[in-house]
Structure 1
Amino acid sequence: MPEAIPQDDQPAITAPGSPSHQRRASLKALSRNINKVVLGNLYFDTWYFSPYPETVIFGPDHHPKAHSINGDHGSSHSHKNGHHAEKPTTSIISKLHVCPYCFKYTPNPADYIAHLQVHVRELENDSENWWPVPKTALKVYEWNGYTVWDVDGEQEKLYCQNLSLFAKLFLEQKSVFFDTSGFHYFVLTHAPASAGTPAKIRGRRRRLSGNNADLGLNTQVLGFFSKENLSWDANNLACILVFPPYQHRNLGQLLMAISYKLSGWEWEDSIIGGPEKPLSAMGRKAYVRFWSERVARFFMGMTADAEGEKVFRTVKEKKGKRTTFAREIMTIKEIGDRTGILPEDVIAALSEMGVCVPQKRLKKVKVEEGKDEGGREEDSPTTMLVKRSDVLAWAEAHSVDLVSPVKEEGFLGEWAMSEPEDEDVQSKEDGSGEDREIADSTE
């Protein structure tokens, strides 16, 4: 068992941004049935209720009809006198041990240690073929030590069920726990370079080295997102979670970008989608930031479509002056088509950025025949002017990296780039300029 786990008298990790400090104590008690979790060598607070089996919560001798857990999705049980059993108002388990790889769980520390030893033996016996995810998982992305694995919810039901139960401890609105057959789970792992993993590996196998027995340190499962196999709303993501100890490292932005890539919006005749809605308060905040950064990169003139075409045409001015971008007129839908974002999400991004300046115009329209008036004026669709300098100022004020968090070269298999870009040719086409202006119509 990792020695880094704090003792009971030491404070647990409370991730920044946790909703726990924002909720009344009574609400926290009603919504949680597990107080803290041990995940590998980490020990931290939970946020919400999760429907773990009652035999785990109450013990192996628990009779299903003897208790009723607040927040249980099943039917409540009643006594013979017709009254419902009293619902607990405090956390029932002070600490739940969860395997950092298969997400199996137990409240018993001895059982947890024995379970981890199984992984240790597997790793020692065949370190070359040892994976931190199920054997059926496929790599879809690998770059700079970060790997995203595609786990089929139909093939690996137990793994995905355990992962979903753990995720519910930190997701308020998650509702799928046991019927995982209609979903794929994309699991994010990280192996530092010191663990013997190169920055980029094209194969599905990888060699681990170093202290293999120190589980949870060499290779870590950081989070995941799930996606429906068939979504009538073209959702490219059902739920997303970066585990609390790893939050605030832009890993959520990485997973979101990968979900958009895997949705195939660049392909011919494809449909642009987005995350399943409604979003939670935390989810919406993260996505608006993601959309804003994606739109900012587009407005800065970088490539934003599958063909690698430049976003804006360049024009040459008089001799001695710099090359600038031509003024472009485009609709919200056209911006969405080039960035893979739904029009309503583009609007949310522009509202958040605050870089649009209304350019109100009036136009003459004919009146009905027989009227004395020669004509009247009415408002035309509002045109929004977006200056490149304003986008750059927004990016600097919000510490935005104008380089995408996802590298195209990191995608594997069918998602891999067909041909590498010719950087020398592309750099000649970039041109330079300062206040490049973009006009956008919300029509």
Structure 2
Amino acid sequence: MTVMAEGEVEITEGCRLPVLLRNGDGWHWAEILGKKEVNDKPLFYVHYDDFNKRLDEWVPEERLDVSKLEYPKKDQKTPKKEVGKVGTPSSRPGSPESMVNGSSMSHPKKASGASRKRKLEDDDERGSRSGTPSIPHVGSLQDLNLDGTALPSAPRQTGSMVAHHDDAITRMKNVELIELGTYRIRPWYFSPYPQELTSVPIVYICEYCLKYVKSNKCLERHLAKCLLRHPPGNEIYRKANISIFEIDGRKNKNYAQNLCLLAKLFLDHKTLYYDTDPFLFYVCCEMDNKGYHIVGYFSKEKESSEDYNVACILTLPPYQKKGFGKLLIEFSYELSKVEAKTGSPEKPLSDLGLLSYRSYWSQTITEILLGLKPEEGNEKPLITINEISELTSIKKEDVISTLQHLNLINYYKGQYIIVLSRELLKSHYKAMSKRKIRIDPKCLHWQPKDWSKRGKW
């Protein structure tokens, strides 16, 4: 029974109230997702209305306007999770303990149909200690939600970007900081790292093999033994100090799984699954005299019935806004050109992903249009949607949506015409001047494989 002084209000999970923003820039309505105590003082985990989840944070009671507190409605099913005091296993929402012994989750991927369904092994009951449902060992390859429940059987959905089960655990960040090479990075989202790592202030990650450890001493000992200085795959592209490696998810399971765990810290709307076999990972690195430092990556299915050329894509926060996102997108389309296919990323895209792709499509299509010359006998150059798609390897639907987004298509005298305005051209030239790094197709050394022959997996 909670004893409260007269006039006090109880702040519980599911409540809504105004919260003072971190920079002091006014108050914003937020929902309370969790609570804990540090030095006998309460802290509340809040999600700001209409803000991205990466801005969620722990705030002290002084930043809450309790005078406007709104309790959840009785019929509203609000997930509750009491978070204990710092230093206890439940001080931050963690991961099933069954993952501690090498059972790290793998690539974000939706069910691929009965062909990859396999029998579940016995559940590991140790997961119940963390207050979360237990999850099977890695040997079990049936698709699971992050909470350990099996997904219902359904028709094939190629959706590594489908929203994950949004429960009290996955809604809250469980890792405070990671150290990757020379960078310390604050994660944006939940990732199912082992429970023991969610109670340490910093998770240390080897920037070469992506193994995760709980202390700097452990990392030093690991680095003394780690033989890798680059991703464990084939280097298929190098220009100047930029290299891109192709990693097979079947041949390099540990690396692929560790990469997905790291990526999940910065990717929302993902559900992690065990099976990395059907995927290829393309890891972009900056090279110096110490080795190859991971910048970002994208993954793709070995076989995609929907012609997706990207499943997940990420540029790590220290390298964002430096052109690497567009470089990775450009590289994915260069692979599609070699395959003589058109491609598209899996949908839905994240907010940052949509911005990056829309910008890339706009710049690439505008470049094509500016390079057109009138054919003999015509005053104006002519081009079809299919021709733009063939030249860029951008799927026809994406070409159409980009032209519509740019408001370039007009109907004039019985035919559709494309009009490039001065404002668009000015914006285009300004954007292109900022793209300092581009993919040079001559530096790509890669031959596509026929993955329909399952023996090659």
For residue 291 of structure 1, the aligned residue among 318, 341, 361 is 361
In structure 1, C-alpha distance between the alignment counterparts of 2:239 and 2:396, rounded to whole Å? 31
Change (3 A) 1:403 1:189: closer
**Contact persistence 2:234–2:247 (CA under 8 A):** yes
For the residue of structure 2 that corresponds to 1:163, the secondary structure is helix
1:43 aligns with 2:192: no
Q: Deviations over 1:334-388 (max 9, x none)?
A: 322222111221133224434x2623335xxxxxxxxxxxxxxxxxxx6133238
Q: Shift of residue 223 of structure 1?
A: 1.1
1:54 aligns with 2:195: yes
Q: Shift of residue 24 of structure 1?
A: 6.4
For the residue of structure 1 that corresponds to 2:201, the secondary structure is strand
Query: Where do 1:263-278 residues align within 5 Å?
Result: 263-264=336-337, 270-278=340-348
1:185 aligns with 2:281: yes
For the residue of structure 2 that corresponds to 1:263, the secondary structure is helix
1:225 maps to what in 2? 298
Q: Deviations over 1:137-191 (max 9, x none)?
A: 1121111110100011000001100110011000002334531111011111111
Query: Where do 1:376-415 residues align within 5 Å?
Result: 383-387=416-420, 391-400=424-433, 405-414=438-447
1:155 aligns with 2:251: yes
2:212 maps to what in 1? 105
For the residue of structure 2 that corresponds to 1:329, the secondary structure is coil
1:114 aligns with 2:225: no
Equivalent residue letter for 1:336: S
Equivalent residue letter for 1:132: H
**Contact persistence 2:336–2:393 (CA under 8 A):** no
1:132 aligns with 2:230: yes
Change (3 A) 1:95 1:182: same
For residue 261 of structure 2, the aligned residue among 159, 162, 165 is 165
Which runs of 5 or more structure 1 residues have no equivalent in the other structure?
1-17, 58-91, 123-129, 196-211, 213-217, 302-310, 317-324, 363-381, 416-443
Q: Shift of residue 42 of structure 1?
A: 1.1
Equivalent residue letter for 2:327: L
Q: Under a length normalisation based on structure 1, what TM-score does the superposition of the two structures give?
A: 0.59
- State the structure with more CA Rg: 1
For the residue of structure 2 that corresponds to 1:147, the secondary structure is strand
1:94 aligns with 2:213: no
In structure 2, C-alpha distance between the alignment counterparts of 1:55 and 1:394, rounded to whole Å? 49
2:315 maps to what in 1? 242
**Contact persistence 1:227–1:236 (CA under 8 A):** yes
In structure 2, C-alpha distance between the alignment counterparts of 1:159 and 1:174, rounded to whole Å? 19
1:331 maps to what in 2? 384
1:358 aligns with 2:410: yes
Equivalent residue letter for 2:382: I
**Contact persistence 1:353–1:394 (CA under 8 A):** no
Q: Deviations over 1:45-67 (max 9, x none)?
A: 0000001122443xxxxxxxxxx
In structure 2, C-alpha distance between the alignment counterparts of 1:29 and 1:155, rounded to whole Å? 30
Higher mean alpha-carbon deviation, 143-152 vs 330-339, is at 330-339
**Contact persistence 1:36–1:44 (CA under 8 A):** yes
In structure 1, C-alpha distance between the alignment counterparts of 2:343 and 2:410, rounded to whole Å? 28
Q: Shift of residue 403 of structure 1?
A: 8.7
**Contact persistence 1:289–1:349 (CA under 8 A):** no
Q: Deviations over 1:386-422 (max 9, x none)?
A: 238565323134455689811112111438xxxxxxx
**Contact persistence 2:170–2:190 (CA under 8 A):** no
**Contact persistence 1:332–1:343 (CA under 8 A):** yes
Q: Deviations over 1:280-302 (max 9, x none)?
A: 1111111001111110110121x
Change (3 A) 1:28 1:242: farther
Q: Deviations over 1:12-69 (max 9, x none)?
A: xxxxxx9567446589994211011011221110000001122443xxxxxxxxxxxx
2:162 maps to what in 1? none
For the residue of structure 2 that corresponds to 1:236, the secondary structure is strand
Q: Shift of residue 312 of structure 1?
A: 3.2
For the residue of structure 1 that corresponds to 2:308, the secondary structure is coil
**Contact persistence 1:293–1:400 (CA under 8 A):** no
1:343 maps to what in 2? 396
In structure 2, C-alpha distance between the alignment counterparts of 1:261 and 1:293, rounded to whole Å? 15
Q: Deviations over 1:248-286 (max 9, x none)?
A: 11101111111111124x65xx44121111111111111
Q: Deviations over 1:202-229 (max 9, x none)?
A: xxxxxxxxxx4xxxxx531111111111
**Contact persistence 2:323–2:437 (CA under 8 A):** no
2:113 maps to what in 1? none
2:175 maps to what in 1? 34
Equivalent residue letter for 1:109: N
Which runs of 5 or more structure 2 residues have no equivalent in the other structure?
1-50, 60-167, 449-457
For the residue of structure 1 that corresponds to 2:365, the secondary structure is helix
Q: Shift of residue 313 of structure 1?
A: 4.0
In structure 2, C-alpha distance between the alignment counterparts of 1:326 and 1:360, rounded to whole Å? 16
In structure 1, C-alpha distance between the alignment counterparts of 2:380 and 2:425, rounded to whole Å? 17
2:67 maps to what in 1? none
1:202 maps to what in 2? none
**Contact persistence 2:410–2:419 (CA under 8 A):** no
**Contact persistence 1:36–1:46 (CA under 8 A):** yes
RMSD: 2.9
Equivalent residue letter for 1:160: A
